[in-house]
Structure 1
Amino acid sequence: MSETDGLIQSGAGSVVTNGTSATLNKQQQQQQQQQQHHQVSPSHGPLNSSPTSTNIFVRFIRSVFGYRKTTLTSFVVLSLLFTFLLSWYDNSLEYSVSLPTNKDEILILQQAWLDLQHIAKYEHTYGSKSNDYVHDYLENQILNVIKHKNYIEYDNDLNGTNNILFNTRSSSEFSSVSYYESNNLVVRINGSNEELPAFLLSAHYDAVPSSFGVTDDGMGIASLLGVLYYYSQSSTNQPERTIIFNFNNNEEFGLYGATSFLSHPWFKQIKYFLNLEGTGAGGKAILFRGTDYGILKYFKSVRYPYGTSIFQEGFNNHLIHSETDYKVYKEKGSIRGLDLAFFKPRDIYHTGSDNIKNVNIKSLWHMLANSLDFTETITNQQIDLDNEYLNNETSIYSHEFASYTSFLNYFFAFPISQILIVNVVTLLIIPIIEIPFFLIIFNYKKVWKVTFLNIIKFPLSIVASFFVVHGAVLKTIEYNEFLPNSGSELLLITYSSLFLLSNYIFLNLFNALNSYKVINHDEKLIVIWEISIVYAIVLIWSTIKLSNNEIGNDHTGEFPFLFLYILQAIGSIFGFIGWSLKSSKRPTIIEGTISESQPLLHNDEVNYGTDFHDGDIRISSTSSSLLNPEEDLFAGHETLKKFFSYDWSLQFLIIVPFSSLIIYNSGYLILEGIKKSIQESLAAEYLIYKFIVIFSIAWSIPFLPFVFKLNRIIVLALIAIVASGTFFVAVTNPFDQLNPLKLRFVQSIYLDQGLDSYVNVVGRKGTPIDDVLADIPSLKESHEVLNCTATTDGNQICSYKSTLSPNLIDGVTNYGELLEVEILKNSSSGSDHPFGYLVGEFKVKTKENRMCILNFNKGVTSSSQSSAYKDVPVKTVIVYNDKPKSNLSNSDINTKAIPEGFSTDSNGNYIYKDLAGINQIQLNKLSWDKDYHIGIQWVPNLAEDTSESKLSITAICYWADLAPLATDQGVLSSIPAYDELLHYTPNYVTFANYERGLVSITKSFQV
């Protein structure tokens, strides 16, 4: 573009062209050359004057901010750097979090880190001896601390009063009853103001069998100890509010510790809580969710806030399937609080890699510092929420859902009613501002001619580009299905580049095929305005949904659309202002075809910068090659003058950098949270690919208004990115040492089939599970067959008979001794009333065991037939206390008068009654050798020969201890088949537990 691009018409009779493809015949060229030589205005001089005649400062401004391809390229690069650097800094643990400099805090962190090292010394699931080690270590630490303060109390929770039996009905067709014996460690720091409701800090000290539990949830426990150390210092005063700590157990397999704590007498004091958790392994601890704005707003007091309500929306809408104790405290305890947790990376979550070696002390400090700050804010003052409990005065907004986010260690939270008001006002004001400009531009001055083709080509390009990206996704799934596990960023950049490049090609192809007889035209402004309309539609939808916000239909994470719409609308308004200030005198059109867009690969010459929407004269590359650029083409037309427009730079700087940052940072957090879930199910895989496509397109949207003006450097860069991205998508391994293949293990013994043990490994179908297992030495040497069977939702289970038997108890080789069943009462065959309740009573005898599950089968077997129940037969389960306090026999318990739900009788037996039926009971006990003494009442099948019908029951018991055993043959591994897999599988494979233990023993029986 030469300086003649800066000319506009300011008088009648001027000849103007606005197309790059305009052609001048030979006669017209000769006439214009004569005019240039003989009719130059002495007052104005040649319009294509030397650049040196222009003030150097003006030339600099024009060069930097003019709508040139070089300038646009610079702006694009700087915007991307702005996006990446700020997002990287905000999410960086290393640079956004500083270790303490205060002496007391340094000592607290050092002690908390030492505690974490002890907690994570062994795998310590509830069903392991190592769990007792962690319990005893925590108890010793607590007792040593509280002796310094007379207002701190401790309860070991082992008096049996917090044993619970409760129902966890997962659906209308499946009901599971859980029995749990609690050994939580509970500490109370009594506040100086007894009237204030108490504040709870909670974390769980158990882990899964396959993990050392450093981030899940060792750091949470170490942070609780750190807060306890702080309030136990001689220099720390008694808090105004009571603080209660719940170091709870067995969260992993049913949230049992938190559920049990609801029955503790101290729980009645509590109204607020902070739960510390880990659903990933490392990095920064993010604020997952909060119960309401009233408590969320106090999180701004912490020194390193990090959170987004996008995750809250995911949890509330059940898109994230793992749960934390937050659910218990909020839904069952009806108290208000926050869920603070680690969320990435999930590939080492619940594996042996969740250990001290793979975490940073800064991760611990991030959680500990935020816990200290939040606790101090809540406990050292009376907060407005207290009025609800003290004076029945509800604070405004206090119970509302909240939208929140953090950035660069600043925290922002808003109640949804305020969000709704701002949304509605914005949606009303922006059109009111825009309408007068439309009237001025189109009705009064009539300076802008917009056709249907101008409006429709961008939406068509978007749709066409979407299908191009969709096709690329299908090819990715076909050739490298699990690539998001290690290459989600690769896919994001490749798809985004492909989307931009496709729009570039489609839009320019459209322009080449459809030349317009239109001079005044602003393609970028049309695109900016169309994007703002899309954002407005999304914002209207989100506002409607937010006005009826509820769990399961939560939209608190959609607040970024408000800012995206505002930015886009401001950009379009600046464009409308420029058009409304233009002269209303319209130019004429030179005979010939006029194209609306300069070729985007056209060579840039001395382009001092004007926006093409100003009705400027445009000289195509063809016409420029026929004319001497130094000659004054328009000599004699004194009414022509130069006009420079820079509104494009304002539009770009307002829209692109900030929109790119908002979209990228939000998308990055979501992608980091979900991408590893591709190994969990086919549904998760579909969700991840869908999100990557949405992320790629959304991130490209801010750049699309300027795609017409991309120069060859960016276009070639996009081509190179797509080409190289395609290559790396094809050859990149989805699993490597940093992004391992995550498999799940359990070794099973089915006593009904003998004493053989079978190794079962579960993972996604299509991953190299069978290849990994085929190279295991014991399998090759035994010549056993490896059987892989597809299971639900895209998974498969591979099994083989193992010659490596588990050493669960020293000296016990007959697994039948580890799980036996003694039938104490079987009334099925001798019932006085075949259509009334039948009673069964039995003991499940185990050794060195804490966890069993009993499944009550619907099938009915008899000596002559096999049929199925139409409903769930078992209506009542009883867990006997075996400490009778009366003369009644255990078998004489009558539950007819007992209401549905949980009850206890005079003997202390636990009873749960559910007339809809009970499918399963989960048993968790603290004593290693105590029998499970169970009674059931059930309804027989209404079939012939009911006197002989029996109820089939399957008992599955779990062992999880990995501690080696000392024998005459030396030290032996307790689960050698598991150790073999850890030792011989490739370094890109890691293992987690498939069930509650690493070894399961199953036995079926009838009552």
Structure 2
Amino acid sequence: MSEPESSALPQNGSVPAATSSPALNKQTPHGDHPSESTAETPKKSNSLPNILLIFIRATFGYRKTSLSLLVFLTYLVVVVLSYIDNSLDYTTLLPTTPTERSVLRKSWLDLQNIGKQEHTYGSSGNDFVHHYLEQQILGEVTKKKYIEYDNDLNGNNTILYGARSGDFNSVSYYESNNLVVRINGSNSELPALLVSSHFDSVPSSFGVTDDGMGVATLLGILYYYAIKTTAQPERTIVLNFNNNEEFGLYGATAFLSHPWSKNVRYFLNLEGTGAGGRPILFRGTDYGIVKHFAGVRYPYGTSIFQEGFNNHLIHSETDYKVYKESGGLRGLDLAFYKPRDLYHTAGDNIKNVSPKSLYLMLATSLDFTNIITKGPIDLDNEYLGEDLQGNTSTDFAIYASFLNYFFSIPVTDFFVFSIGLLVIVPLASLPLLLVIFGYKKNWQLSFVNVIKLPLSVVSSAIVLHILTETIVVNLNEFLPNNSPLSIVFILFAVFLFLNYFILNGINLLFLRYKIVNHDEKLIAIIETSFLYWVILLWSTIKLANNKIGDDHTGEYPFILLSALQAFAALVGLIGWGVKPPRRRVKKITSHEAQPLLNNREQHYGSHDLEVERVVSGSSSLSLNLEPEEVDVKVKEYIKTFSYDWSLQFLTIVPLSTYLIYNSGYLIVDGINKSIQESLIAEKFIFKLLQLFAIALTIPLLPFVYKLNRLVVYGLVGFSAVGFLFIASVEPFDQKNPLKVRFIQKVDLDNSTTSSYVSVLGRVGSPLSHVLADIPSVKESGKLPVCEPLTDGNQACTYKSALPPYFVPEATSFSDYLHVDVLKNSSSSNPFGLLTGEIQIKTPKNRQCTLNFKSSQSSKRHKEAPVKTVIIFNKSKPNNDTKVFSSDISASGIPEGFSRDKDGSFIFKDLSGIDQLQLNKLDWDKPYHLAFQWVPNFADSEFEESDSKKLDVSIQCFWSDLTHLSDEDGTVRSSIPAYEELLHFSPNYVSIANWDKGLVSVSKAVQI
């Protein structure tokens, strides 16, 4: 092994000049260096050709040009490789077999039909998609006798359930119309596999990616198994085409009540939280099921996203939550994740997706399904009750993919490897340090040498943060929406230059005190290794108790970064360990100090270069050595060319840079659009961009001293141009639009004829300017009123001259929502439960939300007053209709959900019910409801009559964008205010729904 970079350097790291010694003034023929035997004897003819020596030394010698070239090539390869790995086009091949081509062709046609119109649960488009899917399913199930179909419209799958979040308890009533297909397996002993997707969209989206791709994939799986030549699977497959995922995960919850769910133990959920690209494995319930994903053709996934979901950094949910938490199933969440700015907008349409995206989800789903269903798997043993010693399959999974290769490991094994690395690194390093500093004493350290890199990194990070907050955020607050990576690259250049400037400035300041035997590169490598070691220690401690909400499965890169850095440090320490003991060398006099930035090469242990200068006499500095010592020193230079730097560089920089860049790219690419959601998200994203830039620089810091001055000038120029770019580029454009949220509100308590449009967006965005240019707003002569909301958002509201049009016969908005109070409180006991009953008439409607509170309630009365809700089976009350007894203990009603003899739905929770959500399939069926609540005596000044009353706030939603016809044949848009905003907004604006509907009508009643 060669010696470290500065094993025989003079005190300032420079090389000796020509002296009176003949050995230094004598040059060998052809420019070769003297051999070990004599500096005056030419090399023999059988030595390596001179051109080869020059090439090796020029390429691998620790020279600024060589280093700078390697740095440039490394970052170029990293960026290109990451682009290829995450690209749809470079990682996926279209199908080549006739079967898959046929399946893809049919599935693509299905996707086109599904995406013809918006199809949220509360729309006629939802009925169209349901009917279309049913027809496709019925056409296939008859082809194989072991394939069967069921529809929740049989009336057996209406559900009522509660969901508590903190102190808030919401109860939901839902009428399901899931479509369920069962492909029965040949082995009925094996537990079934569920493959699920939802066929509803949000009101403002065509739902092509969310979740038309998943639905078309389910149809593709059905087509595949219905083909005559496809064999019957050994394990049963259940396909769940579920509805109303978007506003409550209702379809998946309803499936758990379906008889076919009883034998299901594994699942694959197909989802879309973006609009196209590659579907990624978001998360898996455990290692036992995740490891089987390695068998698919185009695996793509990272547990970094899993950590984000499990720690609630991603503010959306999928049916995976229901299947895992409520169903206790084991499975995967496969989803599209970008671009988020088209998610839930009209941009999620067939124009913005590729058949390749659909094929990738289809191929991945078919592969995984075939892997799980072709026979028994190891997880079946656990299901059958066998005790498996040392089983790690239920552990959290850590996983990643690279160029269609998939790697996974259970947290338990990863924890063992981490502990091993944490122990081995100090045990291997400490003996070498003892040999170097205690025995041979050939490496001298000073406080400045040790502290300068941490000081430089911390100082540069502080400056970078100040520049980001004072310049980047102020110049272009929303730029991460458009160009997050450009910000990263600019900050990277700034941070790298700052460290170069500070480190070399410290060297210049303390040049005269520089020690002979001193290795700046190795010091930086050791300090960086220690940093990674500390981070890995923290992450490993967290992994020991890994759980949802405190998940650390996405931090796997740290073990690789730590291992690479530790290996490079050991290489350097071993070099010092085998070096002879230190010789005593005089210090450099003050006149020998030279500036660091001059026309000469800077010297930090570039031995082959030093030898050339010693022999040629080109150096301007001299060694403080006696003449008889020079030959010995020259021979020591010549004996070793110190090429260990290249091994250290290749060990640390390429792979570490790729791990950091690709991980950072995936994170930034997944969340940068959330900057439009809140101020908290904005601050988090800017911190993330700074951390990304800093982390990307860390692998290069040990070598930053040797960067070529042209690279340094390039960093300065790039930074300057970058800040001009930040100041001039638009944060919103057609490909990266401003995303706003729309709702048209009618408050019947204030007016039965007026409606107001409210649009939600970020403060500081061009939202108000966009709305001011809408024709109806300009014609009204009144600008929208924008009021700040929490967390950096604002709501801009204007009175609309374009009323919604859902009920042609309606004369006012009161015809959209009418409430009859059938029974007020009947309790004669003021301390007992009170009972009331209402009927809500909402034509052409499917969704309403009720919120409860005691009338005149005080701040001290925090508990929700309602204890029981009932949804009557009969929509119209009659003389036989009965409500609950006022004495709840005597009623015998159990806690939770139950049904009475008439089939009415009951939910009781003595801790209180704050909200009731209603979802029905019959467009015109009234809601017939009753409640029991506790009177409020929190404040003695309340009148007894007021304390008994219950305030019920009712809000119903409409979403249907289908154009309706008047009696005279005139075609009207059902929500013209939304159509106007959609039509007249600039092309850099995309519009999503604010709530579960695009129109809401509200009314408050007392019972």
Q: Could you say whether these structures have the same fold, taking a TM-score greater than 0.5 normalized by the shorter chain as the test?
A: yes
Shift of 1:36: 4.1
Distance 1:901 1:594 in 2: 88
Equivalent residues of 2:11, 2:514 under 8 A apart: no
Equivalent residues of 2:34, 2:43 under 8 A apart: no
> Is the partner of 2:205 in helix, strand or coil?
coil
> Is the partner of 1:921 in helix, strand or coil?
strand
2:232 corresponds to 1:238: yes
Match for 1:139: what amino acid? E
How well do the aligned residues superpose, as a CA RMSD in angstroms?
3.0
Task: Give the counterpart of 1:292 among 286, 294, 306.
Answer: 286
Match for 1:337: what amino acid? G
Distance 1:63 1:38 in 2: 19
Structure 1 segment 17-28 matched on structure 2, within 5 A? 17-19=10-12
Task: Give the counterpart of 1:363 among 339, 357, 368.
Answer: 357
Shift of 1:728: 0.9
Q: Which whole-Å deviations, capped at 9, do the CAs of 1:349-408 have from their partners, x for residues lacking one?
A: 000000000011111111110000000000111001111122433471111111001111
Equivalent residues of 2:281, 2:300 under 8 A apart: yes
Distance 2:619 2:648 in 1: 33
> Is the partner of 1:745 in helix, strand or coil?
strand
Shift of 1:555: 0.8
Which blocks of at least 5 consecutive residues in structure 2 are unaligned?
none
Distance 2:629 2:859 in 1: 102
2:520 corresponds to 1:523: yes
Shift of 1:639: 6.4
Tell me: CA distance 1:601–1:225, structure 2 relative to 1, closer, same or farther (3 Å): farther
Tell me: CA distance 1:636–1:422, structure 2 relative to 1, closer, same or farther (3 Å): closer
Equivalent residues of 2:60, 2:643 under 8 A apart: yes
Name 2:728's counterpart in structure 1: 731
Name 1:749's counterpart in structure 2: 746
Equivalent residues of 2:490, 2:718 under 8 A apart: yes
Equivalent residues of 1:520, 1:613 under 8 A apart: no
Distance 1:464 1:887 in 2: 80
2:915 corresponds to 1:920: yes
2:882 corresponds to 1:882: no
Q: Which whole-Å deviations, capped at 9, do the CAs of 1:296-317 have from their partners, x for residues lacking one?
A: 1100010000000011111111
Q: Which whole-Å deviations, capped at 9, do the CAs of 1:501-552 have from their partners, x for residues lacking one?
A: 1000000111111122411111011001100000000111111110111111
Structure 1 segment 264-303 matched on structure 2, within 5 A? 264-303=258-297
Task: Give the counterpart of 2:133 among 130, 138, 154.
Answer: 138
2:868 corresponds to 1:872: no
Equivalent residues of 1:19, 1:594 under 8 A apart: no
Name 2:164's counterpart in structure 1: 169
Tell me: CA distance 1:338–1:100, structure 2 relative to 1, closer, same or farther (3 Å): same
Structure 1 segment 371-386 matched on structure 2, within 5 A? 371-386=365-380
Name 2:689's counterpart in structure 1: 692
Equivalent residues of 1:517, 1:594 under 8 A apart: no
Match for 1:269: what amino acid? N
Name 2:482's counterpart in structure 1: 486
Q: Which whole-Å deviations, capped at 9, do the CAs of 1:65-102 have from their partners, x for residues lacking one?
A: 00011100110011112211111111000110111001
2:397 corresponds to 1:399: no
Q: Name which of structure 1's ranges 666-675 and 52-61 shifts more when overlaid on structure 2.
A: 52-61
Question: TM (normalized to structure 1)?
Answer: 0.93
Equivalent residues of 2:508, 2:596 under 8 A apart: no
Structure 1 segment 183-332 matched on structure 2, within 5 A? 183-332=177-326
Name 1:13's counterpart in structure 2: none
Task: Give the counterpart of 1:502 among 477, 498, 514.
Answer: 498
Distance 2:181 2:969 in 1: 45
Question: TM (normalized to structure 2)?
Answer: 0.93
Tell me: CA distance 1:645–1:879, structure 2 relative to 1, closer, same or farther (3 Å): same
Distance 2:814 2:592 in 1: 87
Name 1:85's counterpart in structure 2: 80
Which blocks of at least 5 consecutive residues in structure 1 are unaligned?
10-15
Name 1:837's counterpart in structure 2: 833
2:875 corresponds to 1:891: no
Distance 2:685 2:385 in 1: 48
Name 2:61's counterpart in structure 1: 66
Distance 2:497 2:694 in 1: 12
> Is the partner of 1:158 in helix, strand or coil?
helix
Distance 1:8 1:941 in 2: 85
Tell me: CA distance 1:868–1:950, structure 2 relative to 1, closer, same or farther (3 Å): farther
Q: Which whole-Å deviations, capped at 9, do the CAs of 1:803-828 have from their partners, x for residues lacking one?
A: 0111112343421111100111112x
Match for 2:784: what amino acid? L
Match for 1:572: what amino acid? A
Shift of 1:618: 10
Match for 1:766: what amino acid? G
Distance 2:233 2:5 in 1: 71
Tell me: CA distance 1:655–1:820, structure 2 relative to 1, closer, same or farther (3 Å): same
Match for 2:555: what amino acid? E
Name 1:789's counterpart in structure 2: 787
Equivalent residues of 1:20, 1:597 under 8 A apart: no
Equivalent residues of 1:521, 1:596 under 8 A apart: no
> Is the partner of 1:112 in helix, strand or coil?
helix
Identical columns (%): 54
Structure 1 segment 25-174 matched on structure 2, within 5 A? 36=25, 44-45=38-39, 55-172=50-167, 174=168
Q: Which whole-Å deviations, capped at 9, do the CAs of 1:786-839 have from their partners, x for residues lacking one?
A: 111111111110000010111112343421111100111112xx5311221111
Distance 1:434 1:810 in 2: 82
Name 2:965's counterpart in structure 1: 966
Shift of 1:884: 10
Tell me: CA distance 1:856–1:7, structure 2 relative to 1, closer, same or farther (3 Å): closer
Equivalent residues of 1:6, 1:617 under 8 A apart: no
Tell me: CA distance 1:340–1:44, structure 2 relative to 1, closer, same or farther (3 Å): same
Equivalent residues of 1:883, 1:907 under 8 A apart: no
Distance 1:261 1:969 in 2: 42
Equivalent residues of 2:12, 2:588 under 8 A apart: no
Distance 2:372 2:878 in 1: 48
The count of residues paired between Structure 1 and Structure 2 equals 980
Name 1:901's counterpart in structure 2: 896
Name 2:1001's counterpart in structure 1: 1001
Tell me: CA distance 1:21–1:76, structure 2 relative to 1, closer, same or farther (3 Å): closer
Task: Give the counterpart of 1:414 among 406, 409, 434.
Answer: 409
Name 2:667's counterpart in structure 1: 670
Distance 2:501 2:553 in 1: 37
Match for 1:977: what amino acid? A
Q: Which whole-Å deviations, capped at 9, do the CAs of 1:200-246 have from their partners, x for residues lacking one?
A: 00000000000000110000000111011111110011110011011
Shift of 1:634: 9.0
Equivalent residues of 1:664, 1:699 under 8 A apart: yes
Tell me: CA distance 1:886–1:932, structure 2 relative to 1, closer, same or farther (3 Å): closer
Name 1:654's counterpart in structure 2: 651
Equivalent residues of 1:759, 1:802 under 8 A apart: yes
> Is the partner of 2:177 in helix, strand or coil?
coil
Task: Give the counterpart of 1:543 among 540, 565, 577.
Answer: 540
Equivalent residues of 1:748, 1:760 under 8 A apart: yes
Q: Name which of structure 1's ranges 700-709 and 448-457 shifts more when overlaid on structure 2.
A: 448-457
Distance 1:886 1:759 in 2: 40
Distance 2:960 2:902 in 1: 33
Structure 1 segment 534-933 matched on structure 2, within 5 A? 534-589=531-586, 591-593=588-590, 599=596, 602-604=599-601, 611-612=605-606, 637=631, 640-641=634-635, 642=638, 643-754=640-751, 755-827=753-825, 831-860=827-856, 869-882=861-874, 889-892=881-884, 895-896=888-889, 897-933=892-928
Equivalent residues of 1:20, 1:594 under 8 A apart: no
